[in-house]
Amino acid sequence: MTVKQISIFLENRPGQLAKASRALAENGVNIATLSLADTTDFGIVRMIVDDHDKGYDVLAKAGFTVRQTEVVMVKVADRPGGMAELMEKLDKAGVDIEYSYAYALGSGDSAILIFRFNDNAKAEAALGA
C-alpha cells in the first residue's frame, strides 16, 4: 500500500530531533516509525505519522525543511524467510530499492517494511498489492 512519508532535513547538532518530535507531540501527531540517516552536516529523518497533513504543516511552521514522498508499506510474516520471499518477487520484477526501513508490530506475527522504490507502481504490481 502506498503511504505518505515525511522527510525532515536537520542540521547535525544536538536538540534538532528533540525539537521536531516535541512540535509533533504538542500538536497531537503520533510517530508510527522513523529512520534517521546522517552526514557530516545534516541528517534526514524519514517518518510515517498518524496524520500526515497535520504533521507536515506542524513541522513546516516550526521552521523545518520538510518534504513528502510516497513510499510503499508492506506487511510481511515476522519469521525467517519472510523478507526473503518479498525480495525475490521484487528481484524477478527488476524493481530497484532506493531505501528501506522496518518495524515489528510486537506480536511476533507481522512486521512492516517501508520502501522507496524507483517505481512504486511496478513494485506494488510485483507484490500483488
pLDDT, tens digit, 9 for 90 and up, residues 21-56: 999 999 999 999 999 998 888 899 999 999 999 999
DSSP secondary structure code for residue 105 in this structure: -
Tell me, what's the pLDDT at 107? 65
- The pTM of the full predicted model, rounded to 2 decimals, is 0.84
Q: Tell which residue, 102, 115, 116, 6, has the closest CA to residue 54.
A: 6
Q: CA 8, 58, 105, 87 torsion: positive or negative? A: negative
Domains of the chain with CATH codes: 2-70 (3.30.2130.10), 71-127 (3.30.70.260)
Pairing type for strands 31-38 and 42-49 reads antiparallel
**Mean predicted confidence (pLDDT) in 81-107:** 88
Reported confidence tier of residue 104, pLDDT bands at 50, 70, 90? confident
Phi and psi at 108, nearest 5°, equal 85, -5
